[in-house]
Amino acid sequence: MRLDKDVLSIQEMRNALNKAHRAQKVYETFSQQQIDRIVKNVADAAFRSSERLAEMAVEETKMGVVLHKKMKNEVSSRNVYESIKDEKTIGVIHRDHHAKITEIAYPFGVVAAIIPTTNPTSTAIFKTLISLKSGNGIVVSPHPRATNCTIEALKVCNEAAIEVGAPEGLIGWITNPTLEATTQLMKHKLTNVILATGGIGLVRAAYSSGKPAYGVGPGNVPVYIEKTANVAKAIKNIVDSKTFDNGTICATEQALVVDQHVKELAIRELKKNKVHFVESEEKEKMEKIISPVIGQLNPEIVGKSAVEISQMAGIKVPVDTRVIIAEESRLEKSAPFSIEKLSPVLALFTAANKENAKEICKGLLDLGGRGHSLSIHTNENQIAEEFANEMPVSRIIVNTLSTMGAVGATTGLKPSFTLGCGSYGGNITGDNISVRHLMNVKRLAFSTKEVTIPQESNESSRSIATFDNKVQEVVESVLGNLTFDNNTIDRKELQLLVQKVVSQIQS
């Protein structure tokens, strides 16, 4: 009898979790030196396999560009390693002798990692490295359309880890992933923390699993060319960024917002960079292929080249076309050019001034990119800071490729392939996720000051008793000067009344 695919997938997930749990209990006893040796060997092995894994990813997913995926694999292995190699993650990590506090790190346990189809091998390498560095085990659920290349990346990491002493089973995966198995992975009692990279539904499922979770949202990234910008350089950066791996990184620019004073110059530079403008009938054809259903991106165009997408839309473009662009003014989900496109397709908005640019950028972010990123090209640092203060995003990338800048390749941001969107995007953090998000810290705190707790003294008690006696004397004195008959209040009732009043005054 052939078993149901979900049943097989769930059982495989449980087996992987059990192995990872047992292996992690051994692994958490390792020293910082042992862990660092394992992490370095994994990073080196992944780096050496960057090109082969890139080829596998493009072949399987039919998305992106081999050379660009190779670069992403290199960043996720070598650059990520360089950014975490010196961090203390096990045992005592800090001593504050003045405050008399010692910080001690300990791992979560087993990380449940969900991998997207757009960046399958690089994300798998990245999540494995930061999990191992922080003393955790990891079980991965690949995207069904990128299973083989993701598992191959994990096998490279696993073999390298075991080679230098990691316990077997520390890195696990599901070879036949299903939605039900992934859902149960996130809720399983042996899962200790979740790293979810994917669509809104997946991220919501991670946050509702009852487990600590780092989920990231979509990135409908606006890029503003302010009037003082070096327009030629800005346009080159934007086109290079938009075509990197055919736009599959969530931090890629999705809509160009140009100050009207430099619009004509920007259009000339766009054409120099082999950007094809569509309008009227061609624009309508592109809109239908971008979003056949209002507000929903057509997955068939994700990671495809501009020429391929134009062919799908029935539009003829020069064979060297890099990006397709259309002028737009609508800030609504029914405008396909205004949503996140994850492909070399751009919208062009014209801003009358800086304030109008802010309105357009906020409108674009409200369509599905709140909390993620915004890019700006300007020679006025004050304007960049103004946008940083006012825009509902977690990172503002200035004068560079948004794709590269957001993940930390061309900026000082932490190299990462999981970018938090903060409270703007309903995420627990707006950080570039890294090692410190996968480790806990306990604190040993010694006494630094003495505190005196006020106590009730005997003298105070005597004073209160003396006061009580005086009150009683007053009551008796009052009663002694009063006369009572059958038409007046009872003496005992009056006594109780007076005592109650005085008692209230006393308190």
Longest CA pairwise span in the chain (Å): 118
Instruction: For residue 337, tell me if it sits in a domain.
Output: yes
Q: What is the DSSP string of 392-438?
A: SEEEEEESS-HHHHHTTSSSSSPP-S-B--TGGGT-S--SB--GGGG
pLDDT of amino acid 497: 65
Averaged pLDDT for residues 278-303: 95
> 200: pLDDT confidence band, cut at 50, 70 and 90?
confident
pLDDT of amino acid 459: 65
| pLDDT beyond 60 at 2 | no
Do 169 and 286 lie in one domain? The reply is no
Averaged pLDDT for residues 276-295: 96
| pLDDT beyond 60 at 507 | no
Do 166 and 287 lie in one domain? The reply is no
> 177: pLDDT confidence band, cut at 50, 70 and 90?
very high
> 456: pLDDT confidence band, cut at 50, 70 and 90?
confident
pLDDT digits (tens, 9 = 90+) for 362-371: 999 999 899 9
Do 245 and 318 lie in one domain? The reply is yes
Instruction: For residue 277, tell me if it sits in a domain.
Output: yes
pLDDT digits (tens, 9 = 90+) for 385-422: 999 999 999 999 999 999 999 999 999 999 999 999 99
| pLDDT beyond 70 at 165 | yes
pLDDT of amino acid 473: 67
Torsional sign, CA 39, 43, 44, 46: positive
> 1: pLDDT confidence band, cut at 50, 70 and 90?
very low
How far apart CA 274 and CA 324 sit, in angstroms, is 9
Q: What is the CATH number of the domain that holds 63?
A: 3.40.605.10
Do 16 and 142 lie in one domain? The reply is yes
pLDDT of amino acid 504: 58
> 455: pLDDT confidence band, cut at 50, 70 and 90?
confident
Catalytic residue ranges? 250
Instruction: For residue 188, tell me if it sits in a domain.
Output: no
Do 20 and 140 lie in one domain? The reply is yes
For Cα atoms 416, 345, 238, give the angle at the middle one, nearest 5 degrees: 55
Q: What is the CATH number of the domain that holds 393?
A: 3.40.309.10
Averaged pLDDT for residues 117-125: 96
How far apart CA 77 and CA 127 sit, in angstroms, is 10
How far apart CA 290 and CA 300 sit, in angstroms, is 9
Closest CA to 174 of 189, 154, 199: 154
For Cα atoms 411, 414, 415, give the angle at the middle one, nearest 5 degrees: 85
Looking up tokens 């051994």, which residue turns up? 26
| pLDDT beyond 60 at 486 | no
Please say which residue of 413, 431, 454 terminates a domain: 413
How far apart CA 420 and CA 194 sit, in angstroms, is 13
Q: For the sheet containing 221-225, what is the strand order?
A: 275-277, 323-327, 345-351, 253-259, 221-225, 371-377, 393-398
Instruction: For residue 216, tell me if it sits in a domain.
Output: no
Do 121 and 251 lie in one domain? The reply is no
* Counts of helices then strands in the chain (DSSP H, E): 18, 15
How far apart CA 200 and CA 498 sit, in angstroms, is 70
State the number of CA atoms in the 13 A half-sphere of 409 facing the CB: 18
How far apart CA 79 and CA 77 sit, in angstroms, is 6
Instruction: For residue 186, tell me if it sits in a domain.
Output: no
As a whole-number percent, the residues of the chain with pLDDT over 70 amount to 90
pLDDT digits (tens, 9 = 90+) for 206-219: 988 999 999 887 88
**H/E/C letters for each residue in 115-130?**
CCCCCHHHHHHHHHHH
> 346: pLDDT confidence band, cut at 50, 70 and 90?
very high
Find the domain containing 309 and state its range: 221-413
| pLDDT beyond 70 at 505 | no
How far apart CA 449 and CA 169 sit, in angstroms, is 48
How far apart CA 278 and CA 326 sit, in angstroms, is 5
How far apart CA 45 and CA 156 sit, in angstroms, is 7
Closest CA to 42 of 113, 148, 138: 138
pLDDT of amino acid 475: 60
CB of 139 closer than 8 Å to CB of 20: yes
Q: Domain count of the chain? A: 3
Contacts of 388 (CB under 8 A, 6+ apart): 396
Strand partners, 371: 393
Do 228 and 140 lie in one domain? The reply is no
pLDDT digits (tens, 9 = 90+) for 372-389: 999 999 999 999 999 999
pLDDT of amino acid 167: 98
Rg, C-alpha atoms of the chain: 32
Do 45 and 142 lie in one domain? The reply is yes
| pLDDT beyond 50 at 231 | yes
Do 167 and 225 lie in one domain? The reply is no
Strand partners, 395: 373
Do 245 and 386 lie in one domain? The reply is yes
Count other C-beta atoms under 10 Å from residue 2's C-beta.
5
CB of 218 closer than 8 Å to CB of 134: no
As a whole-number percent, the residues of the chain with pLDDT over 90 amount to 83
Do 256 and 137 lie in one domain? The reply is no
Instruction: For residue 459, tell me if it sits in a domain.
Output: no
Higher-pLDDT residue of 240 and 470 is 240
Mean pLDDT for all residues in the chain: 92
Do 38 and 122 lie in one domain? The reply is yes
| pLDDT beyond 60 at 225 | yes
pLDDT of amino acid 61: 96
Amino acid identity for residue 254 in this structure? Q
Contacts of 331 (CB under 8 A, 6+ apart): 338, 360, 363, 364, 366, 367
Instruction: For residue 64, tell me if it sits in a domain.
Output: yes
> 174: pLDDT confidence band, cut at 50, 70 and 90?
very high
Instruction: For residue 475, tell me if it sits in a domain.
Output: yes
